[in-house]
Each structure stands twice: as C-alpha cells, then as structure tokens.
C-alpha cells in the first residue's frame, strides 16, 4: 500500500508541472501575447520561434528578455469529500498559493555570409513553482512543487532569395524538478534532453508569413531520492518522465499603412503525447497515472501602432483551448483549462538601443476537480488561477 500510494503521489505531482509552457520568456514582440512571433524581425528573439527570421535581421542583433511573473492559484473545497484515512490526519479546507519568480532570455544573431546567419538562444521553455502548504484538502498530495526547464538553442538560417528563407536549430534542454507533500519530501531530479526545430519564412513588401516546428522533448528523471515522513520512515529511489510537447507555429503580419501593422499566430501544441505518466521504483512494478490530455490550439492576434517618432504602442490577445476538461482527471499541482491572455506594451529607443516594455494578464479560468473514486484521494472542489507578467526586452 505504501509503495503504490507513493508512486501515485509522485506521478501525479510531477506530471502537470509541465502543463504550463512559459512562452512569455521567449516572446519576440513583447506586448502582443506572441502574435506574429514567427515573422517578427525587430528583435533577435524571433529566431526562437522561427530560425528563418534571422535572414532579415541585418548584420548583428542581440536581445535580452527580462520579466517577473506573479502566479496565483486558489482552491475552494466544496466540502463533499471525506478523508479516507489513508494518511494520518484529516486534510480539509481551502487553499491559496502565490509564487513570484523572475525569468530571463538571451538571444543573439550574426550574419556570417551573404546568405547565412547564425544564432544562439538561451531561455526558459517551461516552469512552475507552487506552494499550498499542508493544511488543505490536498495536503497529502501536494505541499510544494518546483519545475524548471531551460534551453540552449543554436540556430542557422539560409537565404534562398530576396523573399524566401529557411532555418534549423538544435534544442538542448536541462530540466530540474522537486516536490514535497505532508507525507514525503523528494530530492532534486535533473535531466538533459534534446530535440530540434526548423522553419521557413516568406517576406514580401507589406506582408510576411512563417511556418515553424519545435520537436517534442522528453525528460527522464531517474534515481530521485524520496524521504517518507509518514506511514513509517523510509527512503526510496524513484523515477518518472516529463515532456515538453511538439509545437507548430503559423505566423503572419500585414502593414495596413505606414503606422499600423496587424499580427497573428496560430499554434498547435501536441499535448496528446501526455496520455499518461509512468513512475517506477526499485521495489514496485511501473505505475502509470492516466492523463488523457488533448492537443491544444492557441490563437493570437495583435497590433503595432507607431504613435510618433519616439514611441510605438502595441496590444494583443490570445486564446488557448483546454487540454483536459474532465474534473476526474484534473490534479492538484497545476490544474489546466482554457487560457485567455491580454497584453499591452510600448517601444522606444535610447540612442541605438531598442527598449520594449510590456504587461500581460493570463486568466487560467475556473477548473473543477472531482477525485473521489480512488482509495488514495478524496478531493472535490474548484481551482481558480491567474498570472501577471511584467517585463522589458532590450535589443542592441
């Protein structure tokens, strides 16, 4: 019973930590929720979304993205579930968690010949940090969880002609994960994982379109030390897996006139690969928690408006479909649903240095959870989540 319960707890906790893609850290046009990122060439960050954009960035360009996010997740217990007694104590009640954390990305592009540009990108591709405490209905399943995935992304683009360009890149990922509940504490799990990305772009006089692809990255965390603090003290070595899904991006831009540019993007996130999460130890057979996530579509629109010689203003909106709407398959670490993002920003120059500032609000919605059919958990209630982002991008 102890080993099976532990596996289910860790499997659940690790899994959803990857459900939040931290795309704000790698947005090229800060203030438009990522609309048009696959064709935007004013900052070097666009080479992350679509390496073919580097062809149109001149001899050299460097961008540093800096931001702070404020994640807030509240849980309201509906009071219908009863504790099963599988762990000591009756964990009931509401909870709220707030995490403030910084993120930074560095992006550099240089032209090495008439037709070839090289680039190197470094940034966070995903992340979550949450702390509910132990005195709530799910305290025996989650107290704190931290997941971070950072990536080094060397890229190359090739100019086919004055309109067409293509690009490729390598994804070198480093993942870190750590979890605790009222019943156990885990050590830090780390892993290297690898993938690739590619893209193409067509640039006309007043419009552009780009198509790009980032491959799935699968992390395998092995030999994570776990210390049980209840049920009888024990130490176990546990392993699990975590994925960052494949992403397809179709972006476009259109210069309506010399002041206003319209931007749009459609993205496909292949979260159906997240069908289950395996967990394995030296003492039990492999255990898998059924997730059954769906693929996600993201639709983003935005606009750039040149207000005067010193300032440009921008705004954007995006909508993402939900990867899981079944309350019986939600979990406590980072419940998922539809996401709505609203963003505003401004651009100015200090000598030759471009400065973009932005604010973004992400509404994660209300997500019901009904986990009452298993012998290891009884949780029924609703999560409400939101994120505030504020940041600045500097390009020189």
Asked whether the predicted pLDDT for residue 386 surpasses 70, the reply is yes
Mean pLDDT of the chain: 83
| pLDDT for residue 95 | 76
- Count of domains in the chain? 1
CA distances from 350 to 204, 254, 312, 396 (A): 29, 27, 13, 10
Name the more confident of 45 and 142.
45
Across residues 318-339, what is the average pLDDT? 85
| pLDDT for residue 371 | 74
Among 17-31, 183-197, 312-326, 380-394, which stretch is predicted with the lowest mean pLDDT? 17-31
Across residues 234-248, what is the average pLDDT? 82
Asked whether the predicted pLDDT for residue 230 surpasses 90, the reply is no
Name the more confident of 295 and 15.
295
Among 7-16, 73-82, 207-216, 275-284, which stretch is predicted with the lowest mean pLDDT? 7-16
* pLDDT tier at 288, thresholds 50, 70, 90: low
Q: Which residue has the tokens 């390009």?
A: 395
Q: Could you give the CA distance from residue 305 to residue 344 in angstroms, rounded to a whole number?
A: 12
Asked whether the predicted pLDDT for residue 348 surpasses 70, the reply is yes
Across residues 315-337, what is the average pLDDT? 86
Asked whether the predicted pLDDT for residue 81 surpasses 70, the reply is no
* pLDDT tier at 231, thresholds 50, 70, 90: low
Domain of 92: which CATH number?
2.40.160.60
Share of the chain above pLDDT 70, in %: 78
* pLDDT tier at 329, thresholds 50, 70, 90: confident
Q: How crowded is residue 313: how many other Cβ atoms within 10 Å of its Cβ?
A: 15
Asked whether the predicted pLDDT for residue 84 surpasses 50, the reply is no
- On the 0-12 / 13-18 / 19+ scale of CB atoms within 10 A, 97 is buried
| pLDDT for residue 135 | 63
Contact 81, 141 (CB under 8 A): no
The CA-based dihedral angle spanning residues 345, 350, 352, 353, taken in that order and rounded to the nearest 10 degrees: -50
Q: Could you give the CA distance from residue 300 to residue 319 in angstroms, rounded to a whole number?
A: 7
Share of the chain above pLDDT 90, in %: 50
| pLDDT for residue 129 | 66
Name the more confident of 25 and 215.
215
Smallest CA-to-CA distance from 375 within 1, 29, 15 is with 1
187 three-class SS: coil
Residue 145: CB partners within 8 Å, gap ≥ 6? 13, 17, 128, 129, 130, 178, 179, 180, 333, 334
Across residues 39-66, what is the average pLDDT? 97
| pLDDT for residue 259 | 97
* pLDDT tier at 374, thresholds 50, 70, 90: low
| pLDDT for residue 116 | 98
Containing structural domain, residue 116: 2-395
Among 120-124, 184-188, 205-209, 342-346, which stretch is predicted with the lowest mean pLDDT? 184-188
Tokens (6 digits) for 20: 């939040």
């Amino acid at each position: 019973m102890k080993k099976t319960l532990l596996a289910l707890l860790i499997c659940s906790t690790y899994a959803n930590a990857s459900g939040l893609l931290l795309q704000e850290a790698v947005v090229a046009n800060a203030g438009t929720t990522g609309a048009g990122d696959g064709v935007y060439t004013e900052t070097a960050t666009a080479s992350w979304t679509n390496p073919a954009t580097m062809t149109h960035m001149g001899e050299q360009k460097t961008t540093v993205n800096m931001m702070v996010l404020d994640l807030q997740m509240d849980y309201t217990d509906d009071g219908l579930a009863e504790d099963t007694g599988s762990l000591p104590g009756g964990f009931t009640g509401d909870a709220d968690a707030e995490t403030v954390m910084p993120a930074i990305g560095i992006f550099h592009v240089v032209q090495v010949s008439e037709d070839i540009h090289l680039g190197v990108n470094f940034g966070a591709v995903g992340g979550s940090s949450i702390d509910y405490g132990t005195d709530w209905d799910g305290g025996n399943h989650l107290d704190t969880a931290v997941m971070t995935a950072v990536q080094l992304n060397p890229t190359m683009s090739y100019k086919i002609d004055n309109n067409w360009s293509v690009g490729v890149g390598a994804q070198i990922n480093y993942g870190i994960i750590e979890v605790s509940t009222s019943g156990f504490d885990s050590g830090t799990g780390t892993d290297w994982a690898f993938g690739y990305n590619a893209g193409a772009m067509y640039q006309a006089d007043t419009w552009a379109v780009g198509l790009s692809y980032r491959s799935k990255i699968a992390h395998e965390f092995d030999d994570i030390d776990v210390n049980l603090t209840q049920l009888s003290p024990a130490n176990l070595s546990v392993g699990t897996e975590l994925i960052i899904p494949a992403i397809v991006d179709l972006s476009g831009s259109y210069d309506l006139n010399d002041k206003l540019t319209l931007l749009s993007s459609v993205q496909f996130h292949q979260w159906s690969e997240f069908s289950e999460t395996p967990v394995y130890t030296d003492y039990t057979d492999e255990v898998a928690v059924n997730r059954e996530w769906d693929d996600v579509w993201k639709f983003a629109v935005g606009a750039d408006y040149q207000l005067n010689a010193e300032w440009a203003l921008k705004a954007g909106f995006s909508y993402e479909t939900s990867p899981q709407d079944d309350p019986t398959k939600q979990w406590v670490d980072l419940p998922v649903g539809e996401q709505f993002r609203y963003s505003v920003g401004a651009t100015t120059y200090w000598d030759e240095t471009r400065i973009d500032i932005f604010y973004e609000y992400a509404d994660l919605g209300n997500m019901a959870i009904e986990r009452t059919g298993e012998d290891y958990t009884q949780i029924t209630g609703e999560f409400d989540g939101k994120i505030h982002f504020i940041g600045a991008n500097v390009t020189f």
